[in-house]
Structure 1
């Protein structure tokens, strides 16, 4: 009798577990990492990283594992301070999408895009509006939400170099000790001399991120572009050409136009020549030996197309240089006094910035039926044919 009862209970548990799998699917996971201020979304079909704003030090985001428990388009916000009810609209700090995961905490849009990348909320997770609307369509009830607190990540350059990115310990959990960082460096096989380590560690929890390697390194947002940088006797900085070529995916002919120098059988190009060729800018911090590459990079069919300074990730108004787009795609661009800019003889909507014609990526997508992927975390735009 007891055996039959155990079997019956086991069958019920199996049924409940199977039903939970059907309801929840366990297909998608949202990992919110507080120190890096990113969401990493993974489903059966896609993975993508988004930049976010997280809870302030006095109103931290709740760590733990949760599930999506409610979703809402055009949510109403009720002020926790005075009970004021704010309907959906530009004054609503929740933006136009809400995905609740625990109590009153949720992932939502915003009406203050400058807060993305900071500690700004009362504990909720803010996203750019266009990003949260994209994520909303991919997320289902029951999807897992992991809110984690990881400060250290090993990043790899295109040619295989390594560096350790250490993000600030905002919530003061005592993670970024000398011992823990040295252990991570040792485990990952990243060699940093004691003198350089001690010099870098002066900026722990200040530099964002603080990047550990044995010399100068080039980063672009959360990516390691190169850990192979040569500094000349005159103080000029040169980057490994293979890293630049692979990071931008520049063809061989174009990369040959860079004036390079040969050091230990490797080619290096001056950072300012790289900037002139690609349109990116560089910010150099000699204290931490970190070179930050800045720019919104556009790719067409995986190949480097150009950069653009005219972006709004909140609504994805991103402007693509028309001449560069037409050069790589074979379309004919002309200027007519009565029509303005035309592509293949057809007038297009455009804007002029610094004497250069640009077209909104939304219009480009509409005209040519292109698949355009916007990655606001890495500041990259990928244009592909359907």
Structure 2
């Protein structure tokens, strides 16, 4: 929370009441903060986008309700509510470099501890990655609506139409994740889960994050359902529906033509280990909850799967793109010169070497070639588009 001079707050409130009694707003953007999923969903006339956040701790919960953006600050100072110490803008300031106040001393702001994003860490404010909050700051206007909600259950759909119920922990202990409430949601959306499966999963309610209800194994990535159609062979190998693989990654048939597939009940499946070897994605199996987590930062070029990258810093958007994969797909000639390093179309470019492979920073790529690069830190996806 940002500490302020109380006299100033009283004066500002009086001023609003005295001089803006007929305040009206044109179109307002909508910012929905959901506590259990630790996300912000921003909607404007032009776009919508999901961001990961940190929210209030159990002992200092974020305030539920509907508010409006009442102030915006670049390079805010922070006043410690415990010591009164004033921390100027800079790397030691826990507010980061942007502040959007919405109620009393509460606001949406940056941070100097990016590892806290995705957790319950604040004194009630909403923390974002610094690069994300700077992007949001430029889109948000005074008067925009801020809804802070508490929704633990979401129905998710896979590319082939499979469904699963994602249940996030009831951190603030509001009693939402009862057996009956979950069963009602499953019934409402036609998701059949046997008694044994339900009881197996429910043991981990409010512990596993998120807990995904469907029959059998499923593949999930961040807040998304990749596939609810997973085949497990007699030797314990896991195979995913080819349709879900192609639909989720938007990967060409040409790229997956060499993957071995098996057919079960006229559905084609591919081994998740083979998918991992092809794409660079990782799969982590949780047998307690019949969940397979897909992990990795996925890069798309003109909407199609390009590659993955392990070298990302979402706080500052220092994200590195594999040079060979990108420039080959974009139709450029890539060469290696022992003296000049990486040469693209006869010109040397700035690069870094990781594990014997050359990468270019997305910021340099954008600057050099005028590309439109969209970073989705909530689902760990990077979209590279030609304008």
Contact 2:309 2:321 in 1 (8 A): yes
Q: C-alpha separation between the residues in 2 aligned to 1:291 and 1:367?
A: 39
Q: Which residue of 1 aligns with 2:248?
A: 247
Q: C-alpha separation between the residues in 1 aligned to 2:343 and 2:36?
A: 46
Per-residue CA deviations over 1:215-268 (Å, capped at 9, x if unaligned) read 100001000000000001111100001100111111122222211011111110
* Structure 1: runs of 5+ lacking an equivalent: 1-15
What are the equivalent positions in structure 2 for 1:172-187 lying under 5 Å apart?
172-187=173-188
Q: Which residue of 1 aligns with 2:135?
A: 134
Q: Which residue of 2 aligns with 1:67?
A: 68
Q: Which residue of 1 aligns with 2:57?
A: 56
Q: Which moved more, 1:47-56 or 1:25-34?
A: 25-34
Per-residue CA deviations over 1:293-337 (Å, capped at 9, x if unaligned) read 000000000000000000000000000000000121111111111
Q: C-alpha separation between the residues in 2 aligned to 1:216 and 1:20?
A: 53
Per-residue CA deviations over 1:73-100 (Å, capped at 9, x if unaligned) read 0000000000000000000000000000
Contact 2:240 2:272 in 1 (8 A): yes
Q: Which residue of 2 aligns with 1:105?
A: 106
Contact 2:28 2:143 in 1 (8 A): no
Q: Which residue of 2 aligns with 1:352?
A: 353
TM-score by length of 2: 0.94
Contact 1:26 1:142 in 2 (8 A): no
Per-residue CA deviations over 1:323-377 (Å, capped at 9, x if unaligned) read 0001211111111112111111111111111100000000000000000000000
Q: Which residue of 2 aligns with 1:315?
A: 316
Q: C-alpha separation between the residues in 1 aligned to 2:64 and 2:130?
A: 23
TM-score by length of 1: 0.94
* CA-CA distance at 1:53 after TM superposition: 0.1
Q: Which residue of 1 aligns with 2:9?
A: none
* CA-CA distance at 1:26 after TM superposition: 3.5
Q: Which residue of 1 aligns with 2:95?
A: 94
The count of corresponding residues between Structure 1 and Structure 2 is 368
1:342 counterpart = 2:343:
yes
Q: Which residue of 2 aligns with 1:224?
A: 225
Q: C-alpha separation between the residues in 2 aligned to 1:257 and 1:50?
A: 36
Q: Which runs of 4+ in 1 moved over 6 A?
A: none
Q: Which residue of 1 aligns with 2:6?
A: none
Root mean square deviation, CA, Å: 1.0
